[in-house]
Structure 1
């Protein structure tokens, strides 16, 4: 009897949109995918493949240990699950901006999710952190904090049906606690910023993540490091 299965679809970049690997065993289910635009950049593709291998190896080790513990203690083992999907936010002449969605389940009451940001600087030929294109965390907060909190209050009120803007448990988080995505409406320059608060960051697990988009304004342009300023513009 075949106890496990592996399927891997490595598509021809330029003719399909994703490279995807999927594996199911008695201990775990694993999925990892990234877009063709990332696969066309050799060093970035190598990093993604290494990230996939690290993630799969950790999942396999953790799930095997959990199964052994369950057998030793005499309780049922629940199969683990891990997934990561990268998607293109935008691609400009300077940046390839990706968003990452991570899901995991380790036998608890529910799984967990996490958002990620990956930015490839085409000019420098390396990854940069999205927040590192700005002068400092304090300047990012000054540029986006007020608009972020106002938009979050509006969205939380929509979801909860009441004014949740002054929640004693989940106060408006700082921008430094969020996932920051570089975005563009025209594919030429970065002119909008995506901000994501994962579950438990700005609200309960039941509320889900909060993802809001803000335009790049004058304050945001001043917050960008000089080396990147020409790659940003107001909408």
Structure 2
């Protein structure tokens, strides 16, 4: 006998929180605003997540340039993950020099920073995973320096190396200029919209053929909806929670 009732199920929801233990990592989350003295600002992971959301919107409208950026970001995330692991491997070698008679526990902040995440893209979450890896890396570097396994020069070099890996990723996202205004159909017709898009992204060079024909897309690319791709995509609300920047003056040693 067929069921005589109808299920009324709501949307799925999940609560996600990010906990960071170091000022180095929290600075990479918030970024740095432009200084009054002309010092340039730096984008953080929260801003990078917003850019990814805009790129995803463009890719959904069949913009090949947006698809190309998703691919480049996906590849850069994989490279960054390996680069952080390489630093971690060097730390493993250093920590192996600890005498067997000594037992050292993990160093955790007595007051870590915890904030909720509202992200809509898997690639944004992958960026978060990189940040948590860097947060753990910073803790290990500071601990190794504290117990005399690495000197101050090595400590600063490794901290800067890890930070630069994430900043290069964020910088790639900043090169995205927005929805090109053209779809793959426009490129096939080589119309005015396609020509304007090529001028907009001339700094990237020619689109790879497999990206232009849509045969190569990011594993995390959205489904394509070809509705009115001639107009620009409007920005969504910010993905990241708007939080005041934490106090960075405390020594971290």
Q: Which bin holds the TM-score, normalised by the shorter protein?
A: under 0.3
More helix by share: 2
**Structure with bigger gyration radius:** 2
Normalized against structure 2, the TM-score is what? 0.25
